[in-house]
């Protein structure tokens, strides 16, 4: 996986009426990856297929959060797995050799090593800053990204990441920043996405 830049993660605002327009706005802002994460209500197959098609129209890989079978049925490019969401080996078996499989590693380098050995395509760490989406999530530090470089996998930073605080995370080793509210909570979704993606187009 060689993608570098903004990874937008949907929330409930993207899963109901008008949700596709919000996702399209983020894609027009330059988002490089899209994760379908809609916990309440759960993401329907119809909505997942619609958003997968939308992502593909922009040439953007679409990842389903948690649900390996939904990813398969929706024609998504892969799945993102948390600690209790399924097995990386199982996901590879179901989705195929070319699927993108991401793993939440929180603030654990040990978990990251295990996920890398099991074949994860990218390793996600965070939260790095106070987060509206997961306020109780364990805190990670940029030093963790520095240490994780040795694992040879793309590193994703998530959790309260804003254009004004993302720079040190990118410098530490994050090739991707994942964002929920920073994009989908903005009045100008396209402009917000563009501000994040711009970080990867300018020297730090």
Q: Would you state the structure tokens that stand for residue 187, as one six-digit string?
A: 């009045």
Choose the catalytic residue: 37, 92, 127, 153: 37
Known catalytic residue: 104?
Answer: yes
Q: Is 134 noted as a catalytic residue in this protein?
A: yes
| Alpha-helix runs per DSSP H in 58-149 | 68-74, 88-95, 109-118, 142-148
Which of 22, 92, 104, 175 is labelled catalytic?
104
Q: Contact, 83 vs 112, CB < 8 A?
A: no
Spatial CB neighbours of 154, under 8 Å, sequence gap ≥ 6 = 1, 2, 3, 4, 121, 122, 123, 175, 176
Alpha carbon of 145 to those of 130, 150, 157, 174: distances in Å? 18, 9, 8, 7
Return d(Cα 5, Cα 132) in angstroms, integer.
21
Catalytic residue from among 53, 134, 149, 150:
134
Residue 37 known to be catalytic = yes
SS3 of residue 143 by DSSP: helix
Report the C-alpha gap between 38 and 53 in whole angstroms.
17
Please give the positions annotated as active site. Answer: 37, 104, 134
């Amino acid at each position: 996986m060689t993608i570098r830049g903004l990874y937008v993660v949907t929330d409930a605002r993207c899963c109901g009426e008008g949700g596709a327009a919000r996702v399209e706005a983020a894609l027009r802002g330059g988002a490089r990856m899209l994760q379908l994460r809609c916990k309440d209500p759960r993401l329907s197959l119809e909505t997942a297929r619609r958003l997968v098609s939308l992502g593909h129209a922009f040439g953007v890989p679409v990842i389903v959060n948690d649900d390996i079978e939904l990813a398969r049925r929706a024609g998504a490019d892969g799945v993102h797995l948390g600690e209790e969401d399924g097995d990386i080996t199982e996901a590879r078996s179901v989705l195929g050799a070319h699927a993108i499989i991401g793993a939440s590693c929180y603030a654990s380098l040990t978990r990251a090593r295990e996920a890398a050995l099991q074949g994860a395509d990218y390793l996600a760490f965070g939260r790095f800053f106070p987060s509206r989406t997961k306020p109780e999530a364990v805190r990670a530090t940029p030093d963790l990204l520095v240490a994780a470089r040795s694992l040879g996998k793309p590193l994703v930073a998530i959790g309260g990441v804003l254009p004004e605080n993302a720079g040190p995370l990118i410098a530490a080793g994050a090739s991707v920043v994942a964002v929920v509210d920073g994009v989908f909570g903005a009045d100008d979704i396209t402009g917000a996405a563009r501000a994040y993606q711009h970080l990867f187009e300018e020297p730090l």
